[in-house]
Structure 1
Amino acid sequence: MKFDGIASFVAVAEEGSISEAARALRLSKSVVSERLAELERSLGASLLHRTTRRVSVTEDGAAFLERAKRILQEVSEAKTDLAERRGTLSGPMRISAPVTFGRMHLGPALYPFLAANPEIEMSLDLDDRRVDIASGVYDGVVRHGTIDDSRLMVWRLAPSRRVLVASDDYLARHGVPATIAELNAHKGIFYTNRGVADWRFATPKGVEIVRARIGFRVNNGDMMRDATVAGLGIALLPLFIAGPDIRDGKVKVVDVGVRPASEFIYLAHPEGRRPPAKLRALADHLKAAFGDPPYWENGVD
């Protein structure tokens, strides 16, 4: 049984076709097919159903797939350990991050890290949906918010201050709220991936929840900012999104006397698995690049 055959099988199972697997492995279709055939001969079992449109895993293939994935993971980690013993950060690293933060801040911070460590093979998935870090698909997940998954080990990268913001046009038409209670009469712009459309504030009496009228709901931070600038309502935005528009005067901070509950930018990795040195090095690099307080808070009172 050859390692490259196992790698080809896992790629085909995950991609759903030999063509896509060949593209991912940077091999020809014929080479991938030959490796699969050799693997099946060595195992004495058929691992895949092949049709003209798609490839699917057989019952024997499903039984072998999980172990095959573990074999690949173990070999990858072994190669990484050897590289780290030589003082080199190398090998594949797959990270997930939110779209807006990734575009505005994570990307610019990542590029010098990757330039300084050319042996790292980084894959970055930008997606605002929550991902299951415990599944092992990702080495690390960069997220903004609270930390409520007990299966995660978390490194805090930066505090994330959030503020209520609105355009001059909206405030001129609807008035400027001065208290939490007055927010209930206003239209809110909400981030749908957080679930309930509400705002939470830390007060001396504990957390107070405000549910303003819904002006707009969307699953993307860029569009929340654009809707706020357009005067559709009040939004609770992190300064890593709203900072430039506040400094440019496109939106104003709405002060209701209390601050939203604290949140953070963090890098999470699965519990029970020793994080590779390159992931720790990435976390340290990002903390230094963002700063404390983070640079995106500059110029905002």
Structure 2
Amino acid sequence: MIKLDGISGFVAVAESGSISEAARRLRLSKSVVSERLAELERGLSSKLLHRTTRKLSLTEDGIIFLERAHRILQEIEQGTADIAERRGTISGPLRLSAPVTFGRMHLGPALYPFLAAHPKLQLTLDLDDRRVDAAADGYDAVIRNGAISDSRLMAWRLAPSRRVLVASPAYIKESGKPRSIEELERHRGVFYTNRGVADWRFPSSGGAVLVRGQMGFGVNNGDMLRDAAMAGLGIALLPTFAVGAAIEAGKLEIIDIGVQPELEYIHIAHSQGRQPSFKLRALADHLRAAFGTPPYWDPAFPA
């Protein structure tokens, strides 16, 4: 008899490409996942995976069965969600990914009361500043700051995310405060490297204007980027959720060059084609209410 835990184990291995990673996602031992796979293959009388010392790959039968296995798990997940919605309960596993700075400063405090109100929800949150692949990495949803370029994802807006140019009072005293895009280009910058090249983008009537300041420091973490700006290493373009408190405390000053960066949004995104669960929709509604419009981290910054 084919068991559901064998199907879920096979899907996890196929998506992650390794038994070790699948075991981590499922919170099981490698030996348990391996045994479930072997039992599934015996039940199907077919080999689903090619196993070598370096990697796992799907057999022809594995490729065919994977599509059906996805459907089976999705139908069960949707059926469970439908029953939960009828009963008004929120329960079961939910795996999310979010950026480190936003997760630490704002997402965590918003999540805690939601989890306390729904003790049967088993939420796992991974904080990572890289752009994870929601489907391949096994996430039910990802939370991101900025545009969603992945066409495989369906995104819901949670809150607007304004960005501002900032520098420390010490840097401004030493180097002056630029008043235009042309002046900004002559200043040292601290850049968020996960956005790619070291530049800032501003809208204009003729299209986007890219400003490349002098590279002072590059880092792939928002906390360190803010701290580098406070240390006087240069000018940074940062979301107000990361620098609002530092501005109010006088540790950073807003730099006005006569043009505002494009408005971005905090999104929660899930894989296209998958029916969003009741618990995911409930979480999104809770986060929108918790962040507010305008968001609570923007009280000192007029629109």
Q: TM-score, normalised by structure 1?
A: 0.86
Superposed displacement of residue 134, structure 1: 6.0
Maintained 8 Å contact 1:18/1:33: no
Partner of 1:78: 79
Partner Cα distance (2:82, 2:276) in 1: 11
Q: Which amino acid aligns with 1:180?
A: I
Q: Which amino acid aligns with 2:247?
A: I
Provide structure 1 residue ranges, at least 5 long, that are not aligned to the other structure: none
Partner of 2:182: 181
Partner Cα distance (1:274, 1:28) in 2: 30
Query: How many residues align structurally?
Result: 299
Tell me which moved more, 108-117 or 36-45. Answer: 36-45
Maintained 8 Å contact 2:17/2:56: no
Maintained 8 Å contact 2:166/2:254: yes
Partner Cα distance (1:23, 1:127) in 2: 16
55 and 39 in structure 1: CA distance in 2 versus 1, 3 angstrom threshold: farther
55 and 145 in structure 1: CA distance in 2 versus 1, 3 angstrom threshold: closer
Maintained 8 Å contact 1:161/1:263: yes
Superposed displacement of residue 115, structure 1: 1.5
Q: TM-score, normalised by structure 2?
A: 0.86
Q: Secondary structure at the match of 1:153?
A: strand
Matched, 1:130 2:98: no
Partner of 2:108: 107
Post-superposition CA distance 1:168-209 (Å, at most 9, x none): 221122111111211010011111111132222234555432
Matched, 1:259 2:260: yes
Partner Cα distance (1:204, 1:48) in 2: 55
Superposed displacement of residue 295, structure 1: 1.0
Partner Cα distance (1:163, 1:291) in 2: 19
- 1:15-30 alignment runs, 5 A limit: 16-17=18-19, 21=23, 24-26=26-28, 29=31
Post-superposition CA distance 1:131-161 (Å, at most 9, x none): 3346583322211113444443322111111
Provide structure 2 residue ranges, at least 5 long, that are not aligned to the other structure: none
Q: Which amino acid aligns with 1:86?
A: R
34 and 297 in structure 1: CA distance in 2 versus 1, 3 angstrom threshold: closer
**Root mean square deviation of aligned Cα:** 2.8
Q: Which amino acid aligns with 2:271?
A: P
Q: Which amino acid aligns with 1:165?
A: V
Partner Cα distance (2:203, 2:243) in 1: 20
Q: Which amino acid aligns with 2:80?
A: K
Q: Secondary structure at the match of 2:233?
A: coil
Post-superposition CA distance 1:210-238 (Å, at most 9, x none): 11111111111011111101111100111
Q: Secondary structure at the match of 2:198?
A: coil
Partner Cα distance (2:96, 2:82) in 1: 19
Superposed displacement of residue 92, structure 1: 2.2
Matched, 1:59 2:59: yes
120 and 193 in structure 1: CA distance in 2 versus 1, 3 angstrom threshold: same
Partner of 1:145: 146
Matched, 1:231 2:238: no
